[in-house]
Amino acid sequence: MPRINTEIPGWMGEEELEWLYEQAAKYKSVVEVGSWMGRSTYALCSGCKGTVWAVDHFKGSPSELDECHAIAKTQDISEKFRANVGHFKNLKVLRLSSVIAATLFEDKEVEMVFLDGEHTYESVLSDLQAWIPNCSKLLCGHDINRKQVVAALEAMNLIWFTPPGTTLWYVNAD
């Protein structure tokens, strides 16, 4: 089975998916916030030898429902997600909002957290506040090229790094 699957619809490039795979391979537990149709989930589940929790309500981001998430108005995204990655034995799906899902975990319970949910400043800030306490090793996310993501990271006084050739960001949590 391949490490990544670029046939699954999504916005992450091959370099970004490879980076996620390589990072997930280092950890026994991963949470992904914002799974959409499973493009990044596939890389995370392929790499991680332990549990990968996919957190998504599968309704699309409210701020993007008239654009790239418009398909969520007429199609069941969770069905597409299950068809793409449902075969992974290490996958657990939490069909919840990010902030509610975070309450199900204890402090530092998850080694790697990958944030790629709603990209408004308020949502990114809420995700950071909810998941930082639960993350013990690597906190990372997507879309560092968006002003709102940068502003939320700055509001949390985080120092982040960007893997070359990507729009990913990461913070060492340990």
- pLDDT tens-digit series, residues 86-138: 999 999 999 999 999 999 999 999 999 999 998 899 999 999 999 999 999 99
Q: Identify the CATH homologous superfamily for domain 14-172.
A: Vaccinia Virus protein VP39 (3.40.50.150)
Residue 174 predicted with pLDDT over 70? no
Is-contact 170 139, C-beta < 8 A? yes
User: 101 Cβ partners below 8 Å, 6+ apart?
Assistant: 31, 33, 53, 55, 94
Is the distance from CB of 5 to CB of 39 less than 8 angstroms? yes
Neighbours of 106 (CB within 10 A): 9
Domain coordinates of the chain in residue numbers?
14-172
What's the pLDDT band for 74 if we cut at 50, 70, 90?
Answer: low
Yes or no: say if 46 and 1 are a contact pair by the CB < 8 Å rule: yes
pLDDT for 130-149, tens place per residue? 999 999 999 999 999 999 99
* pTM score: 0.92
One DSSP character per residue, 73-107 reads: GTS-HHHHHHHHHTT-TTEEEE-S-HHHHHTTS-T
**How high does pLDDT run on average in the chain?**
91
